[in-house]
Amino acid sequence: MALRWLRFNGIVIGLYLLAFVLWEVASRVFAIPTFILPSPLTILASAAEEPSVLATHTSVTLQEVVGGFLLAAAISIPLGMLLIYSRLLERLVYPSLVAFQAIPKVALAPILVVWFGFGLTSKVVLALVTAAFPIVINTVIGMGQAPREMLYLMRSLRASPWQIFIKARLPVAAPYIFGGLKIGITLAVVGAVVGEFIASNSGLGYLLLVANNNLDTPMLFAVVVVLAVMSSVLFYAVEAAEAILLPRPLRRSQRRLDPGANA
């Protein structure tokens, strides 16, 4: 198993390295201007010139993303569980969630700045509202996946609602909840950066604007690469938590139930 994992990831890393080598060669052979498409080495040199600046802005964005994501999880998972138990609450809240999700988050950013100011809080809230929807929806879907036969059997055996929740609904819902969390953590990055675009004096979104205004294309690419790496690391951190907390049979059963898992 470990050998197969190493072989697969070795191939992936090799393909990425090959792509970067081809990019570097093409930049030199075709003399592509740096302000249009800088080479990988130029991007790396730009990032290495001021590593402390890049690290400082990365730290700010990371705080916003993690804070917003944790709040989104703390609110969205209990809300999704409540919706499955209350038909009235579902009819009241579900349409509002869908309508709210349809609003472009860039339109919410100025309102949040008015309410919460230019500091960290407005970006955390924007990361929260951006990440919340898939977590709620996946929780609702997962909570509804418990087999009816199992629920009928447990009720016939006089199991309490709490026992049904712990023994039947939650184990089936857990892989779906983690699926929503993995989507949510990447959307939290988007929300935080959008907030930094609108009103901020720190963070990777702010650094993108500064680099754009200075026509510093290598720094633009460096920030984009950092954002991509940050999103990937956070995604795999949630996936690692899923692997630690959930037994393998539960993860496999979710993949069998998910029609898009083998697409």
Residue pair 231/65 in contact by the 8 Å Cβ criterion: no
pLDDT at 116: 87
Is the alpha carbon torsion for 170, 174, 176, 181 positive or negative? Answer: positive
Q: Using alpha carbons only, give the angle 131, 262, 234 rounded to the nearest 5 degrees.
A: 30
pLDDT at 5: 58
- pTM here is 0.82
How far apart CA 147 and CA 149 sit, in angstroms, is 5
pLDDT band at 37 (very low <50, low <70, confident <90, very high): confident
pLDDT band at 4 (very low <50, low <70, confident <90, very high): low
φ and ψ of 65, to 5 deg:
-65, -50
pLDDT band at 23 (very low <50, low <70, confident <90, very high): confident
Residues with Cβ within 8 Å of residue 236, at least 6 apart in sequence: none
Better-scored residue on pLDDT, 66 or 261? 66
Q: Residue 215 — left, alpha, or beta (φ > 0 → left; ψ -120 to 50 → alpha)?
A: left
How far apart CA 103 and CA 89 sit, in angstroms, is 22
pLDDT at 45: 84
pLDDT band at 160 (very low <50, low <70, confident <90, very high): confident
pLDDT tens digits, residue range 124-155?
A: 999 999 999 999 999 999 988 887 888 888 88
Exposed e or buried b per residue across 52-84, where buried means at least 16 C-beta atoms within 10 angstroms of its C-beta: eebeebbebbbbbbbbbbbbbbeebbebbbebb
Name the residue type at position 83: L
Residues with Cβ within 8 Å of residue 90, at least 6 apart in sequence: 83, 84, 140
pLDDT at 263: 34
Report the range of poorest mean pLDDT among 62-71, 117-126, 173-182, 232-241.
117-126
Residue 178 has pLDDT above 90, yes or no: yes
Better-scored residue on pLDDT, 69 or 96? 69
Residue pair 178/190 in contact by the 8 Å Cβ criterion: no
Q: Which span out of 96-100, 219-223, 243-247 was modeled with the highest average pLDDT?
A: 219-223
Residues with Cβ within 8 Å of residue 136, at least 6 apart in sequence: 76, 79, 80, 83, 97, 180
- Nearest Cα neighbor of 224 from 188, 193, 183 is 193
How far apart CA 122 and CA 125 sit, in angstroms, is 5
pLDDT at 254: 53
Q: Residue 31 — left, alpha, or beta (φ > 0 → left; ψ -120 to 50 → alpha)?
A: left
pLDDT tens digits, residue range 187-197?
A: 999 999 998 88
> Whole-number mean pLDDT of the chain?
84
Q: Residue 181 — left, alpha, or beta (φ > 0 → left; ψ -120 to 50 → alpha)?
A: alpha
**Residue located via tokens 């199991």:** 159
Residue 22 has pLDDT above 80, yes or no: yes
Stretch 221-244: mean pLDDT? 92
Is the alpha carbon torsion for 74, 76, 77, 81 positive or negative? Answer: positive
pLDDT at 231: 94
pLDDT tens digits, residue range 93-128?
A: 888 888 888 888 888 888 888 888 888 888 999 999
Better-scored residue on pLDDT, 23 or 140? 140
Share of residues in the chain with pLDDT > 70 (%) = 90
pLDDT at 238: 94
